[in-house]
C-alpha cells in the first residue's frame, strides 16, 4: 500500500432494518381484512330485517316458532313446514326486527297466546367480531414495541450504553498492513520500530530496566500516511488494534467523553498487549484553559480523563497509545510530557524518490503506455502527499476512461495534475477577444520574467485556458527540492509574481484585477522576508515575529505584537521597498524582452497553451 492518510477500515455490517416488512404486510392484512370478513359472515347469518308491524302480524298468524330477545333486537325463527313459511318468508332461516324505544306492553301476551318460545339474552354479550376488533390493535402495538426493542438492543444504541467504548477493533488476523506496505518514510518507520519490538518481546527491555514509550504521537501534514503507519505498527506487532477518532469521544451528554475514555482503556487492557490509535487528537487535546469560558466543559473533562489513563495513579505498561495530528502546536503541554506522549515522530511530505516509490505502488493495477515516466511525474509533483499521488493516478485513469482509451498516457497524467492544482477546465466560458488578449499578455509577462531571470524555476508551460478560478496560468517546474531559500531566489520569485501586472502596464498602460492573487502572494512573501527571515536592508538580521498565538476563538482579544508602532511602520516601508524594487526590475526586464512577449502572446492566442521549451527559445532569441 502507498502512503496516504486514509483509514482502511473493515466494511461495516449492514444495519438491521427497523422492522421486518415481510411480517408487517401480512399483519396489516389480518388487521384490516379479518374484521371485515367477520362482519360479512355475521351479516349473512343474521337474516333479513322485517318491520315490527309485520312481525306482530306473523305472530298473530301462527307463523313464528321462536323469538330471541337481546336488548331491543328480536331474532325471529319461522315455524318450519308451514304454508306461511314459503309464502310469507321466502325460505329464509331467521329474521330480525327491533322493539320500539317506547316499548310494547302487548308483545308478551301476544307471544304467550300464540305459543311462541321466548328466549332472552343480555344486551352486552361479547361477540367474535367485538373480541377481534378490541384485541387485535393491542397485539399489533405489542409487536411493534417488540421489534423496536430488539433492534435497539441489537445495535447497542441504548441510552444506557452511550458511554461505552465505540472504537473499532482490528485483531491480529484482520490487520495485515506491515512496514513493507508503506512506501517511503524510512526515517519515520525506524523511529517506531522500538514499539514493535517491545510489543513482540517486552521481557528483553524489562531485563535491562528499559521502559517503552507509552505514547507515540505522529505529526505531519494531512495525507502523509500517519494512519497507515499506525496500522503497520499493529500489523507488525500482531496485537489487537483499537482505532477511534478524537471526535468520537464527544457527545451531547455531560460526562460521556470521559466515560468512553475509561471504557476504551479498560477494553484495551483486557486484550493486552494492545495498541490504541486515536486519530485527530487535537479535537480533544487542545490547550486547557484557553477558552473564553471556564475550565469545566466537556472537552476538557475528556482530556483530563485521558491524561489520567495515560499516566495516572494506576500504571499502564501493556497498552501503547498511538495518536496522529497535524496541529501539534495547539496540544496541551501535559499530553507531551514524558510518560504520556513522550515520543513525537514527524511524518513529512515525501521526497522525490519516495514519491516515485508511492507512484509505483499505486500504478501496479493500472495500464500505462510507453510515454509514462513515473520518475518525471515524481519530479513534477513537489508538495504532493501520498494521498495526493494516489488521487493523481486515479484522476488520470478516469480521464483515460472518459476518452475510451485502453492505456493511461503521460498527457492524461499531466491533465490530471492540472485538474488537481488549478481545478476543472471551464469549457463553457466565453471570453471576449479583448479580454483574451489581455490575459495572454498577463501570462506572457509571468513566463518571460521566469525564463529571463537567473534564480527562478524553469517554466513548464503557459496556458490561457480558464481553470477553476484562474483565467490562465504559468506553471514552473523545480529542478530540485528546496528546504532553504536564498534571498536572491525569493527576490526573483517576487519579480515573477509581478510579471503579469508589469506586462499590463507596459502594453496597455493600465491595471486589471487579474493580478489580485499575484499581489497577495508577493506581499505575503515580502512581509515574511522582513519579519521572519531578516532579509531587508533596514531590519537586517532581525526577527519581528507576531509572538505567541493563542489557540482559542477569541485570540484577537489577547494578541499582542512584539514590536512598537514605529517598528511596524518601518516594517511596512521595508515591505513596500521590496515590492517596488521587484516591480521596477520586472518592468525594465519586459521592456527589453518586448519582442519575446509579443511572439508568446501570438502563440497563446493561436494555440492556447505553449510549452516551457518554446518560451525558453523565444527569450533566448530576444536576448541576442
Residues 266, 318: Cα–Cα separation, whole Å: 12
**CA angle (175 as vertex; 173, 180 as ends), nearest 5:** 120
> Which 3 state secondary structure label does DSSP give 156?
coil
336 is written with which cell numbers? 507531551
Residues 583, 522: Cα–Cα separation, whole Å: 10
Helix (H) or strand (E) holding 392, with range, is helix 386-402
Show Cβ contacts of residue 455 under 8 Å, excluding neighbours closer than 6 positions.
486, 488, 489, 491, 492
Measuring CA to CA, which residue among 1, 555, 5 is closest to residue 280? 5
Secondary structure percentages of the chain, helix, strand, coil, to 5: 50, 10, 35
Q: What are the helix (H) ranges across 156-288?
A: 186-200, 202-207, 226-237, 256-270
The number of residues making up the chain comes to 624
With contact defined as beta carbons under 8 Å apart, do 169 and 240 qualify?
yes
**CA distances (Å), 331 to each of 152, 291, 303, 436, in order?**
37, 13, 10, 50
Helix (H) or strand (E) holding 569, with range, is helix 565-592
Q: Beta strand 473-476 with 319-325: parallel, antiparallel or unpaired?
A: unpaired
**CA distances (Å), 87 to each of 58, 114, 449, in order?**
12, 20, 120
List, in sequence order, every residue forming a beta bridge with 242; answer none if it has no partner: 169, 276
CA torsion 219-221-224-228 (nearest 10°) is 40
Residue 443 falls in the annotated catalytic set: yes
> Which 3 state secondary structure label does DSSP give 463?
strand
| DSSP structure string for 22-68 | HHHHHHHHHHHHHHHHHHHHHHHHH-EE--HHHHHHHHHTT-EEEEE
Residues 73, 94: Cα–Cα separation, whole Å: 13
User: Is omega for the bond preceding 273 within 30 degrees of 0, making it cis?
Assistant: yes
> Which 3 state secondary structure label does DSSP give 461?
strand
φ, ψ (nearest 5 deg) of residue 476: -110, 145
Measuring CA to CA, which residue among 296, 352, 360, 604 is closest to residue 482? 352
Residues 245, 340: Cα–Cα separation, whole Å: 18
Point out the catalytic residue in the list 300, 414, 443, 491: 443
List active site positions.
443
Amino acid at each position: 500500500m502507498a502512503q496516504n492518510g486514509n483509514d482502511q477500515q473493515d466494511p461495516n455490517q449492514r444495519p438491521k432494518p427497523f422492522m421486518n416488512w415481510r411480517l408487517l404486510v401480512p399483519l396489516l392484512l389480518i388487521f384490516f381484512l379479518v374484521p371485515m370478513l367477520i362482519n360479512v359472515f355475521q351479516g349473512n347469518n343474521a337474516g333479513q330485517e322485517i318491520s315490527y308491524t309485520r312481525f306482530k302480524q306473523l305472530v298473530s298468524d301462527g307463523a313464528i316458532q321462536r323469538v330471541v330477545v337481546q336488548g331491543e333486537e328480536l331474532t325471529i325463527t319461522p315455524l318450519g313446514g308451514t304454508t306461511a313459511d314459503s309464502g310469507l318468508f321466502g325460505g329464509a332461516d331467521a329474521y330480525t326486527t327491533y322493539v320500539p324505544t317506547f316499548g310494547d306492553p302487548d308483545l308478551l301476551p301476544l307471544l304467550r297466546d300464540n305459543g311462541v318460545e321466548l328466549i332472552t339474552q343480555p344486551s352486552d354479550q361479547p361477540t367474535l367480531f367485538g373480541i377481534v376488533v378490541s384485541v387485535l390493535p393491542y397485539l399489533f402495538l405489542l409487536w411493534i414495541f417488540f421489534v423496536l426493542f430488539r433492534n435497539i438492543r441489537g445495535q447497542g444504541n441504548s441510552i444506557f450504553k452511550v458511554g461505552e467504548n465505540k472504537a473499532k477493533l482490528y485483531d491480529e488476523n484482520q490487520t495485515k498492513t506491515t512496514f513493507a506496505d508503506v512506501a517511503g518514510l524510512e526515517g519515520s518507520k525506524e523511529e517506531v520500530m522500538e514499539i514493535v519490538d517491545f510489543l513482540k518481546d517486552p521481557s528483553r527491555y524489562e531485563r535491562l530496566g528499559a521502559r517503552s514509550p507509552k505514547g507515540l504521537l505522529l505529526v505531519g501534514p494531512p495525507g502523509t500516511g500517519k494512519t497507515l503507519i499506525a496500522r503497520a505498527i499493529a500489523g507488525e506487532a500482531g496485537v489487537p488494534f483499537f482505532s477511534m477518532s478524537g471526535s468520537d469521544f464527544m457527545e451531547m451528554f455531560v460526562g460521556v467523553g470521559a466515560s468512553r475514555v475509561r471504557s476504551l482503556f479498560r477494553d484495551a487492557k483486557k486484550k493486552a498487549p494492545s495498541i490504541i490509535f486515536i486519530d485527530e487528537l487535537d479535537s480533544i487535546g487542545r490547550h486547557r484553559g484557553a477558552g473564553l469560558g471556564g475550565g469545566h466543559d466537556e472537552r476538557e473533562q475528556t482530556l483530563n480523563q485521558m491524561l489520567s489513563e495515560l499516566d495516572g495513579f494506576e500504571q499502564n505498561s501493556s497498552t501503547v497509545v498511538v495518536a496522529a495530528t497535524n496541529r501539534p502546536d495547539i496540544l496541551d503541554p501535559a499530553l507531551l510530557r514524558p510518560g504520556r506522549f513522550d515520543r513525537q515522530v514527524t511524518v513529512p511530505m515525501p521526497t522525490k524518490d519516495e514519491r516515485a516509490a508511492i507512484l509505483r505502488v499505486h500504478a501496479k493495477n493500472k495500464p500505462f503506455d510507453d510515454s509514462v515516466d513515473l520518475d518525471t511525474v515524481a519530479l513534477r509533483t513537489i508538495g504532493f502527499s501520498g494521498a495526493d499521488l494516489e488521487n493523481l493516478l486515479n484522476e488520470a485513469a478516469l480521464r483515460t476512461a472518459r476518452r475510451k482509451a485502453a492505456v493511461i498516457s503521460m498527457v492524461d497524467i499531466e491533465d490530471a495534475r492540472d485538474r488537481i492544482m488549478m481545478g476543472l477546465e471551464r469549457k463553457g466560458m466565453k471570453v471576449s477577444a479583448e479580454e483574451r488578449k489581455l490575459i495572454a499578455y498577463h501570462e506572457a509577462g509571468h513566463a518571460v520574467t521566469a525564463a529571463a531571470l537567473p534564480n527562478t524555476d524553469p517554466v513548464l508551460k503557459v496556458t490561457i485556458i480558464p481553470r477553476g478560478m484562474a483565467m490562465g496560468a504559468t506553471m514552473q517546474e523545480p529542478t530540485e527540492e528546496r528546504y532553504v531559500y536564498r534571498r536572491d531566489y525569493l527576490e526573483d520569485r517576487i519579480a515573477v509574481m509581478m510579471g503579469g501586472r508589469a506586462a499590463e502596464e507596459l502594453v496597455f498602460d493600465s491595471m486589471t484585477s487579474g493580478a489580485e492573487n499575484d499581489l497577495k502572494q508577493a506581499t505575503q512573501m515580502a512581509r515574511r522576508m522582513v519579519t521572519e527571515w531578516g532579509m531587508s536592508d533596514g531590519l537586517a538580521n532581525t526577527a519581528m515575529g507576531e509572538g505567541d498565538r493563542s489557540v482559542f476563538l477569541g485570540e484577537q482579544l489577547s494578541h499582542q505584537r512584539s514590536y512598537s508602532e514605529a517598528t511596524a511602520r518601518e516594517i511596512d516601508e521595508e515591505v513596500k521597498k521590496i515590492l517596488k524594487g521587484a516591480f521596477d526590475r520586472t518592468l525594465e526586464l519586459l521592456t527589453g524582452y518586448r519582442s519575446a512577449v509579443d511572439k508568446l502572446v501570438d502563440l497563446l492566442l493561436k494555440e492556447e497553451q505553449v510549452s516551457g521549451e518554446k518560451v525558453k527559445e523565444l527569450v533566448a532569441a530576444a536576448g541576442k
